[in-house]
Amino acid sequence: MTVGLQAGRPVPGLPRRRKRIDALPWLLVSPLAIFIVGLALVPAAYTIIASFFRVDELDPPTRFNGLDNFVHIFQNGAILSSMGNTLLYVLVGVALSTLLGIFFAVVLKQKFRGRSALIAILILPWALPGVVEGIIWVNIWDANTGLLNSMLKSLNLIENYQVFLGTNHFVTVLLIEIVQVWQITPLSTLLILAALQNIPDELYEAGSIDGASSWRAFTGITLPLIRPGITVAMVQAVIATLNVFDQPYVLNGAAATGSSVTMQTYFVTFQNLDFGAGYALSLIITIATLIISFGVLKLVYRPVEF
């Protein structure tokens, strides 16, 4: 007598087979998971908790003080000034790096001789450390021996060498941010170029048949379809500009005209040894980064289907 088997149903009288769990994927992922938890999540949790405590190595013990760290931050004139500077860094940096990224991506999408070499050269500023870039640009903005002053003087556009950094608040932030834009634009270009290369050529051919001009094809086909790439480029620019430290510190020192919030975090934490306020300021920067990045995501990103 045969027993009919029905798929998905246990046969009465036979032992039930246990479902085998494949542990190999979990073993392969576990080192990375442990690394992320240990390097990111644990310090983040500690920062959130410590920001509500008074942590001063010169005045132990650690004591809970609620929101006092945050109150002191918003009563500190130097920190408030650095917040204004950082806002300018974000506005100028995100706008310039995105516009330049779109321009260079459109140029590099075309096939021409030396294109690969140009892409390799374009990547160099992104590969350089921020400190090295600051030192390079010191020789351009320097008031005594700077390249810019020498060039303007040789062209008889100025009579005496000018001090570009530290005198005017907006000009100082703009010139420092140009240095950072020089660093982050290559990554924006590559991200937008990757989105450009995914656009089928048939769409441009159809637009040409319908009589669309180059500008109309750019605004009607290119821009809408590269919005995911533009979004990623803008988010990485937001993160970079909100956390700018190397360029203003190397180019302008601790002067208030170019100080960023990240610089103030360093000063408060390691010069004033007020670790609690430093944790609180780090938490504020993190929250601001998340909010602005999410805002960019909601405003710019649109799903694209070909």
User: To which residue do tokens 């798929």 refer?
Assistant: 7
Lowest mean pLDDT among 54-68, 111-125, 166-180: 54-68
At 252, is the pLDDT very low, low, confident or very high (cuts 50, 70, 90)? confident
More confident call, 234 vs 252? 234
Least confident piece of the model among 208-212, 219-223, 226-230: 208-212
Question: Could you tell me which of 219, 231, 194, 190 has the C-alpha nearest to residue 104?
Answer: 190
Please, are residues 125 and 182 in contact by the beta-carbon 8 Å criterion? yes
Burial zone of 139 (CB within 10 Å; 0-12 exposed, 13-18 middle, 19+ buried): exposed
Domain ranges across the chain:
33-55+64-300
Q: Which of 50-54, 71-75, 143-147, 250-254 has the lowest mean pLDDT?
A: 143-147
Provide the 10 A C-beta neighbour count for residue 282. 21
Question: Which of the residue ranges 88-97, 120-129, 293-302 would you say has the lowest mean pLDDT?
Answer: 120-129
- pLDDT of residue 130 exceeding 90: no
Q: Cβ atoms within 10 A of the Cβ of 215, count?
A: 8
Percent of the chain past pLDDT 90, that is, above it, reads: 39
Architecture of domain 33-55+64-300: Orthogonal Bundle (1.10)
Q: What is the pLDDT of residue 114?
A: 81
The pLDDT of residue 217 is above 60: yes
pLDDT at position 3 is 46
Cα(189)–Cα(182) distance, integer angstroms? 11
Average the pLDDT over 200-227 and give the result.
Answer: 86
Between 13 and 138, the more confident residue is 138
For 33-55, write each residue's pLDDT tens digit.
888 888 888 888 888 998 898 88
CB-CB contact of 263 with 249 (8 Å): yes
Share the mean pLDDT of the chain: 86
Q: Is the pLDDT of residue 192 over 90?
A: yes
Residue 4, pLDDT above cutoff 50: no
For residue 10, whether the previous peptide bond is cis, meaning omega lies within 30 degrees of 0, is no
Burial class for 138, CB neighbours closer than 10 Å (0-12, 13-18, 19+): middle
Which pLDDT belongs to residue 1? 43
pTM to 2 decimal places: 0.83
The one-letter amino acid code at 134 reads G
CA distance 60 to 275: 12
Task: Measure the CA–CA gap between 173 and 90, rounded to whole angstroms.
Answer: 10
Residue 5 has pLDDT above 50, yes or no: no
pLDDT at residue 93, rounded to an integer? 94
Task: Fill in the DSSP letter of residue 67.
Answer: T
Per-residue model confidence (pLDDT) at position 10:
56
Q: What is the pLDDT of residue 23?
A: 79
168 pLDDT higher than 70: yes
- pLDDT score for 2: 46
3-state secondary structure of 114: coil
